[in-house]
Amino acid sequence: MEVASTVAEMRAIRRAFTGDVGFVPTLGYLHDGHFSLVRAAKEQNEHTVASIFVNPTQFNSPDDFERYPRDDEGDLAQLRGQGVDAVFMPSAGEMYSYDPLTSVDVGEITERLEGEHRPGHFRGVATVVAKLLNVVQPTRAYFGRKDAQQLVVIRRMVRDLHMGVEIVAMTTIREADGLAMSSRNARLSAAEREAALVLSKALRLAAQRWQGGERSGARIRDELQALISGEQRARVDYVSVADTETLEELDSIEGEVLVSLAVHIGEVRLIDNITLPSQMKELL
């Protein structure tokens, strides 16, 4: 497995590849959710590249950036064991080696949900993903559905800018008790870890209410808000029942709908979501 720390090194590795290239961009501190993306990339492409880069421009708080868990050596060992061909592992100085004037703004879909609570977050995400796609030049790039709004934003950016890469969305990987896997879970205490189950419980309630015939977005939002508010360690940023492409809140549900949550458990902010009805079986 080759490890590139500079843009020039990664481009040289990419030029040597023949055939399709699958790309898995990550912030590191890898878990089984990331490895499910790696396995899909290996199955569908001749070559697989991963990146490890904790992107400072997508964090709203310097403290959150500093607290983000890191294990570079462990990550590299696991990616080597997964049979990844190359890892792009740049420094912040390499990715932002001068004061850039260019950024990527994907418009109004970045202003809702996460964007409302984390101003500038998606400008940082879209810009760094555009940079990574430009450097790696993959055939396909793999993203988990847990970051649902990120997936919507990246798909729109790739389509609008004619980037020519296929964006592959993969199922959220969950622990046995339903908690969505996340690198941030490592920061939860035992009691907070138990409290965090309220997110998947709320999504399960949404699936049950939809299955039972409920089509009022307002009623589903209210019921989920009430359930989460009953957990004393939880503080809600948002509960959303929205269109899967525009992310506009829905009063009346017709067709598929994205139900998403952002909840603070102690000092750790967690997100989760489900698309109804297509992902209903994942939680029922």
Q: Which residues are annotated as catalytic?
A: 34
Read off φ and ψ for residue 208, nearest 5 degrees: -65, -40
| 94: number of Cβ within 10 Å | 17
H or E stretch at 67: helix 62-67
* Residue 65 burial by Cβ neighbours in a 10 Å radius (0-12, 13-18, 19+): middle
51 touches 79 (CB < 8 A): no
Helices and strands: H and E segment counts in the chain:
11, 9
C-alpha triplet 206, 270, 80: angle, nearest 5°: 115
DSSP 215-238: -BHHHHHHHHHHHHHTSTTEEEEE
267 touches 242 (CB < 8 A): no
